[in-house]
Amino acid sequence: MKNFEPEQFRQHFPLIYKNRYINSGDESLLSIIYFDNGATTQKPNAVIECLPAFYQNINANVHRASHNLSAKATKAFEQARETVKTFIHAKSNKEIIWTKGTTESINLLASSLGKKVLSSGDEIILAVSEHHANIVPWQIIAEQIGASIKVLSLDAAGRVDLNEFDTLLTKQTKIVCCAHVSNVLGKINPIVDIIKKAKAAGAVTVIDGAQAIAHFPVDVQKLDCDFYVFSAHKMYGPTGVGVLYGKEALLDAMPPYQSGGEMIKNVSLNKPTTFNSLPFKFEAGTPNIAGVVAYAEAVHFINQFDHDELTKYEQQLAQYCFQALSRVPTVKFIVEGAPDIPVIAFTIEGHHNHDIATSLDSYGIAIRSGHHCAMPLMEYLNISGCLRVSMAAYNSFDEIDYFINTLIKVIQQEKENSLGEVTHKTIHNKDTESNEIINKFSKIKSWDSRHREIMLLGKTLQRMDKGLRNEDSLISGCESLAWVVVNKSPQGTFSFQADSDAKIIRGLLVIVLSAFNGKSALEINAFDIDSFFEHLGLIQHLSPSRGNGVLAIVDKIKILTQ
């Protein structure tokens, strides 16, 4: 086992290392600071190289052929299962089910486990801080069966409230679902106590370990949970691979989730089909073989290092960043206290989350803004969303320093822009032609300059009357609140009024409306927004297919002009 050395660790990750920030005082050396590890982690060379090596050397289907290549592929595939079993300390390989990710693992459980243990009138307990993937599948099965969902609230620090759990837990409780660590709050929940209490009441426990598995060791036997689910891509592995751990007896008793090849023992048109044994009963069809094999490489990579040292370093990063953020006057943390893993959620008083995140992006800093697939948590905290910084062991203290200094600069710039907004408030966008915007953007070479131009354009947008900001004019699917209303001329052409609570979206509205103002419904419907953004040089950063609201704006305009 190697000692953990941060700089040596970083060198294993090509995207991080080749784009690393060097603290020389020269901002031009900056390429990428990646603080969105809660969404997905970067991949080490060992994982990246494993994928083409599999396809070049042993590509074949598993379990289904007698030839040598299939035997090699099957061996690598099943060795990966053994690797994961050992990594989480499961009892048997039969308890490791391959899925596409945490989301599919929970959907499998909601369907198969739900049908097995739930009846009308039964109850499921969920924490209010759960990811949507650990809420919606249970809502669906509860509605189908006639069960109900009870919601567990949090304490001031953002962990589930054990006292309330005691109140919610009854004889009707059949399933308890809880994240090991919240993907927003970064707090470790008291799942040992939750599991013990649930077990005493006869309830089955489902633990979402997606955010925990990369940050500290997990021993499913010590936890004594019934099910534990996680994804490869959040722990340096490939996307499209997930793990469902389940106690063998429970998995054996559950019906299959999907049907097809591999999950069967015998199929006949004249008598009932019989199903395969574990784990294959839940692995219908050809799996992501190369991804599974590459995931084993990710586990081997992690196991090279002293896990305690790696965890300690991440905790140091978390504390350092939390303390630095706490010294920024307008930063407001959404719960009390420092996080347990390097995931920090906060807002900036007086500034829209989306504006801050896109401004930081113009400096090469990647953080996340929005509801983070946790809308019930946002509603519970009475906020529309927040910013999230999530770090990994390849991040550095220098990166945090640069992030904090840039954040302070962005806040100041946003403040100055807001002060100047009144000056431009009465300028209308209706005379701004799309070709003028294209000409202006064609002269700008860098993303940070384009970003500043978008923010300036946002200041030229005449603000809508509050009375027009309603459900009818609301643009659904936009990252911020945004509205648009349409006016049709006697000649059949359209003009638009629009607004948003985010400055960056107001700038995008100016750009989009410049393309559609004065056009007929036929012209609007035929307009190629992707080509337009390509001409502007924005397709890489603000592609309409991304979640920045451009596509939602265009769709709303097309609906209004039909």
Collect all residues with Cβ–Cβ distance below 8 Å to 267 and sequence separation of at least 6: 273
For residues 350 and 419, give the distance between their C-alpha atoms in angstroms, rounded to a whole number: 12
Q: Which amino acid is at 307?
A: H
Q: DSSP string spanning 177-232?
A: EEESB-TTT-PBP-HHHHHHHHHHTT-EEEEE-TTTTTTS---HHHHT-SEEEEEG
For residues 6 and 8, give the distance between their C-alpha atoms in angstroms, rounded to a whole number: 6
| Dihedrals phi, psi of 325, to nearest 5 degrees | -65, -35
Any idea which residues carry the catalytic annotation? 373
Closest CA to 537 of 454, 474, 422: 454
Q: How many other C-beta atoms can be found within 10 angstroms of the C-beta atom of residue 269?
A: 5
Q: How many other C-beta atoms can be found within 10 angstroms of the C-beta atom of residue 86?
A: 13
End-to-end distance of the chain based on CA atoms, in angstroms?
65
For residues 324 and 359, give the distance between their C-alpha atoms in angstroms, rounded to a whole number: 19
For residues 42 and 480, give the distance between their C-alpha atoms in angstroms, rounded to a whole number: 28
Q: DSSP string spanning 27-75?
A: GGG---EE-BTTT-----HHHHHHHHHHHHHT---SSS--SHHHHHHHH
Q: How many other C-beta atoms can be found within 10 angstroms of the C-beta atom of residue 179?
A: 29
| Dihedrals phi, psi of 366, to nearest 5 degrees | -100, 110
Angle, CA of 282, 285 and 287, to the nearest 5°:
85
CA pseudo-torsion sign 260, 228, 318, 1: negative
